Amino acid sequence: MIPSIPQPKVLTIGYAAYVTLFFVFLALPLIVVASFAFNDSQFPSLPWEGFTWNWFFGDERPMIGVFHERSILRAIGTSVFVAVGVSALSVAVGLSNAFLFNRYTFRGQGVLYVLMLLPLVIPGIVLGISILVASSRVANGLWDGFRWDVEALRPGLTLVILGQFSFITTIATLVIGARLQKFDRTLEEAALNLGAGKLTAIRTITLPYLAPAMIGAFVVAFLMSFENFNTTLMLVGSDAPLTIAMFDRLKEGSTPLLNAVSLLLMLGSSCLALVMIFFQKRGR
Amino acid sequence: MRREAKLGLALLLTPLALWLSLLIFIPHIDLFLVSLRERVGVGKYELSFANYLTFFNEPLYLWTFMRTAVMSILATMLTLLIAFPVSYYIAKMVKGRMQAALFLLCLVPFWVSELVRTFGWMILLRETGIISNVLQYAGLASGPVEMLYNDAAIMVGLVYTSMLFMVVPLVTTLESLSDEVVEAGYDLGGNGVSVLREIIIPHAMPGIVSGCIVVFMLCLGNYLTPTMLGGKESLWFTELIYSQFIVRFNWELGAAFGFMLLILSSLIVWGMLRLTGQSLEKTMG
Amino acid sequence: MRPSPLAGAFVLPERPTRKTGMTPDLHCSALTKRFGDTTAVDNVSFSVPPGSFFSILGPSGCGKTTIMRMIAGFLEPSDGDIQIKGKSVLNVPPNKRPVNMVFQHLALFPMMNIEENIGYGLRRAGLPKGEITTKVGEALERIGLPGIGKRKVDELSGGQKQRVAIARCMVLEPDVLLLDEPLGALDLKLRERMKVELKSLQAAFDTTFVYITHDQSEALVMSDNIAVMNEGRFEQMGSARDLYYRPDTAFVAGFVGDSNRWQGRVTRIEGGHVEVQSETGLTLRGASHGRALQAGDMAQAFVRPEAIRIAHGADELASFDTTITGQVTSLLFNGAASRVLVQGEAGHEAIEVNLPQSGEFANLAKGDTVHIGWSSDQANVFAAGGL
């Protein structure tokens, strides 16, 4: 069934209705979350008690808004710190991997490529516990053997960053690799022909060409890190990133404060996504 | 020139090797080794299969394991069934701006964290939630209806959360199917069903497989959705792992659980690839 | 007119193809397709007799693909009727129409092997397995590719794919086979070979072919009848020879074959002979072939390079009523199709002239003075509307 094949009207309308219904299904939870951020009530549920900005700007109990809630603000800061670290690392390693698989042929390359893909098919929680177990054992060994206490190997932000990096890198590699694949190698040869050195050619021709993909990979990595839960849950120490902090609060019972945070998250990630689309449009 | 190339290769191989060995292989080997330890005294361990025996001898563990697997497969199939018509609509029924807009609309919910999405479903489904209120208002229910904390709620959450990972690969592969080929199918006498079965689905197979693999993985490894929407009795395998590690501090048993989860997921992914004649490079890369 | 008992003897012998005889295989009447405000196909009527090869020739965007898609059933006409073997197919969905199509990019199913591709339509028709195998085998035999049934689509060469795409349709024994520029994707050499091959396949299968193309040589070589299409209308319908030597319109004259072309004003008319003063200052004589032209009208004149005689001396051209003396500005060597550009002394633009290959001009060089000329019958003059 494509538009050029005549179909009964009922079928066409029914199909369109199904797709509409699907989008309602997609939008519903988000609309609900966003709307109740403005409910003047202690609970994010009906009845509607009137409109308020208090869950954003309120500064006295019981309605302390997001912008006056220290712990939430700190968690956002932690998340941003982690996400920036993870994105920077993954884009750097992803770039290197993309060149490795695109520009070289060596024995075992195929196998290595499959290995590179593996983190995508390992459940996030297993990634988390395996890194937790290994790093703790190394830390214990170092303490037992040399009396060195390596804080970085204990649950905490370093491990969170490493844990998220371990699978987000695969995605960065795929995003950057896909664009490198489309790169016309003769452009580089033309640069060499015009007197550039090999590294200069890559720096002045190839990297600018890859820039949209690198920005795209950075944003995707940032968003994935920001919303990661499973791996982070197993590796987190005392400084909780936002998803973990929100999870802990949600377990105790929700207030529209969480809706307000969620709405801000939606706005933030939409902006990031728009930035990414903008750069990818320009890269075309 | 050759030396330069070798140096370049070595330089590019290093980060990859460090990443894969330090963060993937060594930790997993270590996890396996820990799972093979049995604690016999304070700080004393012996090599044994005790943890795996515990897993197989305790019906609750085994039941949770099987249940997680079956529900994940079910959620994957549901996601595929729901996503396929939508993806086809986006890929083949609309063109240009409309296509781009619908595709973008599909992505939007996934720019926000799973926690927010799950939170949305909680507000909708719980006793004091929107749907319960709407039902009462419409006279379809006499009192508050609790729709949270059951398997159906878990299913809704899993399907919702996985949707993107099915829609994107499906749209990508379906888009590459040229209209001409579909038209040829009709021109030679095919009808909607036979064109779907013989042309569209075989063409979309790599997308279907890669979507199913990712969705299945996400369901199997999901912790948040079953916990929040399924409540305390949700019996999801990841919850067992979490409780062994964080609550009971029994890392040995937790490691064995983790390994069982890994084996299960690898087996099903491998089976899916074998069954459809696809390869991991083709579906994921 | 009184039917003469001998009339049949003077008519060109029709190829003794189908018994159906009188009803054309395909008949379109007043076919029209509008997309919003634009009219892609404008009131087009034609008939294709059984067993013939009919081409629609036109530049891209002229509406020829739209006609083809309407015949195949992928577009609904805004107006008019399509009849196949005398029966209207307007309300018949594409999968039930007795026409099949060879698509522009062939549309072989990449998920199936060759055998499955050719057998696809037969399976749809619900034929028993054994019969399908036999028919597929026969079809492969017929296209000269026996034994490739188990191969994959992308293991075939361009020409082989072409033949498989035709066989895939022909096993269904359609009343009409539609071909949508199927040679477009091939390289030049292969295209030349496929032209001949397509024509012989058509003869072998003895089926009505409707072929659309923007490549005039494909149409000229293969077709029994050609329709030249422009901006949604048929400009002219006829045999290749008609189109080439007796174009009805300026568009056909310009589109089919190469021509020298002048824009100008009619200065004199004498019977069928027209004198045109071109904007570039050349006075030339041509024929109106019955077209209404009057002195003072704007006109376009076309002269084919091969219709122009070239000579060393002016006296050799005495029998021609348009003669020009000029200098060779370029030699365009192309084997048998070599040409020269001659710049007239009057200063008008260069004229392309075919170079006879009999040796007398073997030493022609740039800058040489030559004489060229043509008889007015060889120059087609058309009224240039709205200029």
How far, in Å, CA of B28 to CA of A131, rounded? Answer: 8
How far, in Å, CA of B37 to CA of B44, rounded? Answer: 9
* pLDDT of C121 higher than 70: yes
CB contact under 8 A, A262 and B116: yes
How far, in Å, CA of B111 to CA of C299, rounded? Answer: 66
CB contact under 8 A, B189 and C124: yes
Joined together, the tokens standing for residue C139 give 């079809």
Joined together, the tokens standing for residue B77 give 């199939």
B120 has a chain A CB within 8 A of its CB: yes
Which of A43-52, A259-268, C9-18 holds the top average pLDDT? A259-268
Residue at A33 is within a domain: no
Residue C57 is predicted with a pLDDT of 92
Domain range for A133: 71-253
A-chain residues near B15 (CB < 8 A): 92-93, 96-97
Q: In whole numbers, what is the pLDDT of chain A averaged over residues?
A: 85
CB contact under 8 A, B180 and C74: no
**Helix, strand, coil abundance in chain C, percent, nearest 5:** 25, 35, 40
Q: Which of B23, B160, B217, B249 to mutate to test the interface with A (most CBs of A within 10 A)?
A: B23
Joined together, the tokens standing for residue A198 give 């090999």
Residue B29 is predicted with a pLDDT of 92
Least confident interval from A37-51, A104-118, A158-172, C44-58: A37-51
* pLDDT of C16 higher than 50: no
Q: Is A78 helix (H, G, I), strand (E, B) or coil?
A: helix
Pick one of 3.40.50.300, 3.40.190.10, 3.90.1300.10, 3.40.50.9100 as the CATH number of C19-250: 3.40.50.300
Residues in CB range of C277: below 8 A, 6 or more apart: C264, C265, C267, C283
Residue B246 is given by DSSP the state I
Residues in CB range of A274: below 8 A, 6 or more apart: none
Residue C386 is predicted with a pLDDT of 43
CATH number for the domain spanning A223: value is: 1.10.3720.10
How far, in Å, CA of C256 to CA of C261, rounded? Answer: 13
A186 has a chain C CB within 8 A of its CB: no
B230 has a chain A CB within 8 A of its CB: no
Confidence category of residue B285, pLDDT binned at 50, 70, 90? low
- Nearest-CA distance from B177 to chain C in Å? 10
Residues in CB range of C240: below 8 A, 6 or more apart: C219, C220, C221, C223, C226
* pLDDT of C45 higher than 90: yes
B-chain residues near A106 (CB < 8 A): 9
Residue A63 is predicted with a pLDDT of 66
Overall average pLDDT of the B244-268 stretch: 89
Residues in CB range of B110: below 8 A, 6 or more apart: B163, B164
Residues in CB range of A131: below 8 A, 6 or more apart: A159, A162, A163, A166, A234, A235, B23, B27
* pLDDT of C19 higher than 60: no
Query: In angstroms, what is the C-alpha Rg of chain B?
Result: 24
A9 has a chain C CB within 8 A of its CB: no
Domain count of the fold of chain A: 1
Task: Give domain limits for chain B.
Answer: 65-284
* pLDDT of C12 higher than 70: no
Closest Cα to residue A44, out of A257, A248, A267? A257
Report in angstroms the alpha-carbon separations of C289 from B11, C272, C292, C300, C320.
79, 6, 9, 14, 18
* C324 compared with A195, residue with greater pLDDT: C324
pLDDT tens profile C128-176 = 999 999 999 988 988 888 888 899 988 998 888 888 998 899 888 899 9
Of B181, B188, B202, the CB nearest to C124: B188
- Which chains pack against B, by 3+ Cβ pairs within 8 A? A, C
How far, in Å, CA of A100 to CA of A96, rounded? Answer: 6
Percent of chain B predicted with pLDDT > 70: 99
Specify whether the CB–CB gap between A99 and B266 falls below 8 A. no
CB contact under 8 A, B203 and C110: yes
Overall average pLDDT of the A10-38 stretch: 89
Specify whether the CB–CB gap between A80 and A161 falls below 8 A. no
Specify whether the CB–CB gap between C89 and C72 falls below 8 A. no
B241 has a chain A CB within 8 A of its CB: yes
Residue B85 is predicted with a pLDDT of 94
Residue C23 is predicted with a pLDDT of 82
Percent of chain C predicted with pLDDT > 90: 21
**Domain B65-284, what architecture?**
Orthogonal Bundle (1.10)
B-chain residues near A46 (CB < 8 A): 128-130, 133
pLDDT tens profile C179-212 = 998 887 778 888 888 888 888 888 888 889 999 9
H helix intervals, chain B:
2-18, 26-35, 50-57, 59-88, 96-107, 114-125, 130-137, 151-175, 179-187, 192-195, 201-220, 224-230, 237-242, 251-276, 280-284
- Domain pair C19-250 / C258-383, same fold: no
Least confident interval from A124-133, A215-224, A247-256, C297-306: A247-256
Query: Which residue of chain B has the CA closest to A272?
Result: B111
pLDDT tens profile B137-157 = 888 877 777 778 888 889 999
Residue C355 is given by DSSP the state P
CB contact under 8 A, A4 and C93: no
Overall average pLDDT of the B201-209 stretch: 90
* pLDDT of A237 higher than 70: yes
Residue A284 is predicted with a pLDDT of 55
Of C93, C95, C107, the CB nearest to B180: C107
pLDDT tens profile A48-107 = 777 777 677 767 666 677 777 788 888 889 999 999 999 999 999 999 999 999 888 888
How far, in Å, CA of A248 to CA of B228, rounded? Answer: 11
Residue C350 is predicted with a pLDDT of 86
How far, in Å, CA of C89 to CA of A2, rounded? Answer: 20
Residue at A11 is within a domain: no
Report in angstroms the alpha-carbon separations of B146 from B125, B139, B227, C243.
7, 16, 16, 80
* pLDDT of A26 higher than 60: yes
pLDDT tens profile B1-32 = 577 778 888 888 899 999 999 989 999 999 99
Confidence category of residue B68, pLDDT binned at 50, 70, 90? very high
* C13 compared with B4, residue with greater pLDDT: B4
A-chain residues near C94 (CB < 8 A): 5-6
Residue A260 is predicted with a pLDDT of 86
Residue C4 is predicted with a pLDDT of 40
CB contact under 8 A, B15 and A229: no
Least confident interval from A39-48, B94-103, C26-35: A39-48
Residue C236 is predicted with a pLDDT of 92
pLDDT tens profile A92-147 = 999 999 999 988 888 888 899 989 988 888 888 899 999 999 998 888 888 888 88
- Nearest-CA distance from A162 to chain C in Å? 42
Least confident interval from A156-160, A262-266, B3-7, C15-19: C15-19
Q: Which of B176, B179, B188 to mutate to test the interface with C (most CBs of C within 10 A)?
A: B188
SS (H, E, C) A91-129: HHHHHHHHHHHHHCCCCCHHHHHHHHHHHHHCCHHHHHH
Question: C258-383 in CATH: which number?
Answer: 2.40.50.140
Report in angstroms the alpha-carbon separations of C356 from A125, B41, C338, C340.
84, 108, 8, 10
Which long-range CB contacts under 8 A does A264-269 form with residues at least 24 apart? A264/A66, A265/A226, A265/B112, A265/B113, A265/B116, A266/A30, A266/A33, A266/A34, A266/B111, A266/B112, A266/B116, A269/A223, A269/A226, A269/B111, A269/B112
B-chain residues near A259 (CB < 8 A): 119
CB contact under 8 A, A4 and C76: no
Residue B174 is predicted with a pLDDT of 92
CB contact under 8 A, B126 and A123: no
- Nearest-CA distance from C125 to chain B in Å? 7
**Dihedral of CA C98/C102/C103/C108: which sign?**
positive
How far, in Å, CA of C111 to CA of A103, rounded? Answer: 31
* pLDDT of C333 higher than 80: yes
Query: Which residue of chain A has the CA closest to B126?
Result: A45
Residue A42 is predicted with a pLDDT of 72
B27 has a chain A CB within 8 A of its CB: yes
- Nearest-CA distance from B206 to chain C in Å? 12
Confidence category of residue A35, pLDDT binned at 50, 70, 90? confident
Residue C177 is predicted with a pLDDT of 92
CB contact under 8 A, B183 and C110: no
B194 has a chain C CB within 8 A of its CB: yes
Least confident interval from A193-202, B258-267, C362-371: A193-202
Residue A283 is predicted with a pLDDT of 60
* pLDDT of A181 higher than 60: yes
Residue C3 is predicted with a pLDDT of 40
* A31 compared with C13, residue with greater pLDDT: A31
Joined together, the tokens standing for residue B52 give 């795996």
* pLDDT of A234 higher than 50: yes
- Nearest-CA distance from A185 to chain C in Å? 25
Q: In whole numbers, what is the pLDDT of chain B averaged over residues?
A: 87
Residue at A30 is within a domain: no
pTM exceeds 0.95, yes or no: no
Query: Which residue of chain B has the CA closest to C100?
Result: B187
How far, in Å, CA of C117 to CA of C62, rounded? Answer: 32
B208 has a chain A CB within 8 A of its CB: no
